[in-house]
């Protein structure tokens, strides 16, 4: 497909300031026919290019079940992302290649209880799958979302989280690291809230987690302690990817390339990789 090698022009339809350092860019291909042909599954990513600044990979933060656009949520964390934040506004154009990478195991999670565990910007790839599963809600049993951030201001997708909270078929648990005057629910890091508050059912449950590497590490430890099997813990790694095509050698863990072999892995697969994240 042409979008894998040559950047296709997308128009920025909307910019949402999610947190002080995260913005969501809602993108539409300039060529409407291309928008229809651009199909992707939750977990995949795109290469986003800004003329004069370079390219960066970002997961697609929305689901293909929501037609006519796709979202990328971008945290200001380096030169290219800072340039994107300062120079890209609604109506501007950017280059997009993709979609790349594998996707969450949609067949494996069908018919199961779902537990999403996210931290900070790590909710972005989970949001793609959450939207997909909400749009196919009857395919799943219990549906729990545990999401945490450093502070309440650092929680992404605040408006959408309200919709999730209003949806009686979902259970949403939010937490922040330290108490705040206006915060009335849970306080504590995600793995602690997982063990002490959520206390998930183990049987017939698939866990999908993403967040800062340290959060993923401790969340997996908590899940194993609770009794989950490695094959039922699924995560997505977005490490140091650049080319997205297995060519630049930036993303490898041992002989595994996150961009080509992932970014979605089960803990069963991760256990066989060198401990680098
Ligand atoms: S991002 Fe270049 S090899 Fe994976």
Which of 56, 239, 240, 249 is the pocket-test mutation for ligand 1 (most atoms within 8 Å of CB)? 249
Neighbours of 101 (CB within 10 A): 26
The answer, yes or no, to whether any atom of ligand 1 lies below 6 A from the CB of 105, is no
Distance CA 74, CA 88 (A): 11
pTM: 0.95
- Return the higher-pLDDT residue of 95 and 52: 95
pLDDT in tens, 91-103: 999 999 999 999 9
Q: What is the mean pLDDT of the chain?
A: 94
Q: For the domain 2-100, what is the CATH superfamily, name and number? A: Translation factors (2.40.30.10)
Place of tokens 């999908």: 208
CA of 248 to the centre of ligand 1 (A): 5
pLDDT given at position 2 = 59
CA-241 nearest atom, ligand 1: 1
* Distant-in-sequence contacts of 3-7, Cβ < 8 A, 24+ apart: 3/34, 3/38, 3/96, 3/97, 3/98, 3/99, 4/97, 4/98, 4/100, 4/245, 5/97, 6/97, 7/47, 7/49, 7/95, 7/96, 7/97
Helix (H/G/I), strand (E/B), else coil: 47 = strand
| DSSP for residue 30 | S
**Percentage of residues in the chain having pLDDT higher than 70:** 97
State the fold for domain 106-236: Rossmann fold (3.40.50)
Please report which confidence band the pLDDT of residue 181 belongs to, taking 50, 70 and 90 as the band edges: very high
The rounded Å distance from CA 277 to ligand 1 centre is 16
259 lines ligand 1 (CB under 6 A): yes
Domains 2-100 and 106-236 fall in the same CATH topology = no
Cβ(251) – ligand 1 distance below 6 Å: yes
Tens of pLDDT, residue by residue over 184-226, are 999 999 999 999 999 999 999 999 999 999 999 999 999 999 9
Rg (the chain; Cα; Å)? 18
Which tens digit of pLDDT belongs to each residue from 99-142?
999 999 999 999 999 999 999 999 999 999 999 999 999 999 99
Centre of ligand 1 from the C-alpha of residue 255, in Å: 12
Q: How confident is the model at residue 242 (pLDDT cuts 50, 70, 90)?
A: confident
Q: Which among 221, 270, 217, 213 has a CA at the least distance from the CA of 240?
A: 213
- Residues 178 and 180: their CA atoms lie apart, in Å, by 7
Whether ligand 1 lies within 6 angstroms of the CB of 162 is answered as no
- Does the CB atom of residue 237 touch ligand 1 within 6 A? no
Domain map (residue ranges) of the chain: 2-100, 106-236
- d(CA 59, ligand 1 centre) in Å: 14
90 pLDDT more than 80: yes
User: Which mutation among 243, 253, 276 tests ligand 1's pocket best, with the greatest number of atoms within 8 A of CB?
Assistant: 243
Q: How confident is the model at residue 176 (pLDDT cuts 50, 70, 90)?
A: very high
What is the best residue among 44, 59, 244, 263 to mutate for testing ligand 1's pocket, by most ligand atoms within 8 Å of CB? 244
Residues of the chain with pLDDT > 90: what percent? 82
246 lines ligand 1 (CB under 6 A): yes
Residue 277 confidence (pLDDT) above 60: no
């Amino acid at each position: 497909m042409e979008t894998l090698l040559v950047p296709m022009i997308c128009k920025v339809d909307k910019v949402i300031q999610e947190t002080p350092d995260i913005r969501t860019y809602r993108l539409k291909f300039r060529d409407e026919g291309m928008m229809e042909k651009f199909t992707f599954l939750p977990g995949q990513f795109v290469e986003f290019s800004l003329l004069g600044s370079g390219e960066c990979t970002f997961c697609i933060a929305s689901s293909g079940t929501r037609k006519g656009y796709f979202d990328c949520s971008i945290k200001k964390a380096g030169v290219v992302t800072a340039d994107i934040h300062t120079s890209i506004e609604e109506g501007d154009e950017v280059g997009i290649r993709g979609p790349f990478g594998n996707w969450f195991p949609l067949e494996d999670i069908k018919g199961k209880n779902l537990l999403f565990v996210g931290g900070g910007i790590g909710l972005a790839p989970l949001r793609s799958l959450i939207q997909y599963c909400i749009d196919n809600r009857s395919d799943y049993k219990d549906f729990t979302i545990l999401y945490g951030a450093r502070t309440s201001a650092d929680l992404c997708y605040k408006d959408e989280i309200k919709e999730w909270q209003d949806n009686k078929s979902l259970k949403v648990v939010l937490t922040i690291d330290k108490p705040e005057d206006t915060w009335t629910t849970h306080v504590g890091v995600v793995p602690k809230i997982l063990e002490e508050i959520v206390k998930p059912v183990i049987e017939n449950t698939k866990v999908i987690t993403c967040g800062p590497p340290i959060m993923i590490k401790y969340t997996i430890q908590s899940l194993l302690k609770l009794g989950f099997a490695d094959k039922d813990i699924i995560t997505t790694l977005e490490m140091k990817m650049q080319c997205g095509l297995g060519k630049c050698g930036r993303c490898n863990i041992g002989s595994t390339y996150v961009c080509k072999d992932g970014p979605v892995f089960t803990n069963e697969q991760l256990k066989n990789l060198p401990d680098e994240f």
